[in-house]
């Protein structure tokens, strides 16, 4: 009997609540001091990006640590619903399993976080910005970069 080696992402670390904007007292104080609406929006956007980057860095550590596994299971909770993203590092694939077939827009931000990791960490050895015109855009990473469009 063949056994597959499997690793897991911590669902509490990657859940929607971990990468959405959250207004803390510190941020509220910063926003109150801001003089323009643009400055206030910039503060909110920067905090949101910081939270998304924190989740992306966690995913990066998990995938790098378990790159020799057959499967990395990423249970993702959002809007009182769960999906499972099964990453297959050896095959360069990822599959979204959704029992309720929710619209992809509901978890698009998490997919964006995965893309950020895939484009910047897996497909580029020197962590360069992703470009469709780069030599690496046409290499063996093709399936992994385009995994969400194959759904």
Domain locations in the chain as residue ranges: 6-150
Query: pLDDT tens for residues 59-102?
Result: 888 888 888 899 999 999 998 899 999 988 888 778 889 998 88
Q: Which two tokens stand for residue 107?
A: 């978890």
The secondary structure element, H or E, covering residue 115 is: helix 108-117
Residue 137 has a pLDDT of: 45
Residue 63 has a pLDDT of: 83
Query: pLDDT tens for residues 11-57?
Result: 999 999 888 888 889 888 998 999 899 999 998 999 888 888 888 88
Tell me what the mean pLDDT of segment 116-135 comes to: 50
């Amino acid at each position: 009997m063949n056994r597959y080696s499997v690793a897991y992402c911590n669902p509490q670390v990657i859940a929607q609540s971990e990468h959405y904007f959250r207004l803390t007292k510190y941020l509220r104080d910063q926003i109150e001091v801001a003089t323009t609406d643009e400055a206030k929006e910039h503060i909110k956007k920067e905090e949101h990006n910081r939270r998304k980057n924190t989740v992306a860095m966690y995913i990066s550590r998990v995938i790098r640590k378990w790159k020799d596994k057959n499967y990395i299971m990423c249970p993702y909770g959002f809007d009182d619903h769960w999906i499972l993203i099964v990453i297959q590092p050896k095959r360069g694939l990822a599959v979204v399993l959704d029992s309720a077939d929710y619209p992809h827009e509901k978890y698009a931000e998490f997919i964006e976080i995965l893309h950020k990791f895939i484009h910047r960490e897996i497909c580029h050895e020197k962590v360069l910005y992703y470009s469709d015109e780069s030599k690496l855009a046409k290499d063996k990473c093709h399936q992994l970069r385009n995994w969400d469009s194959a759904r």
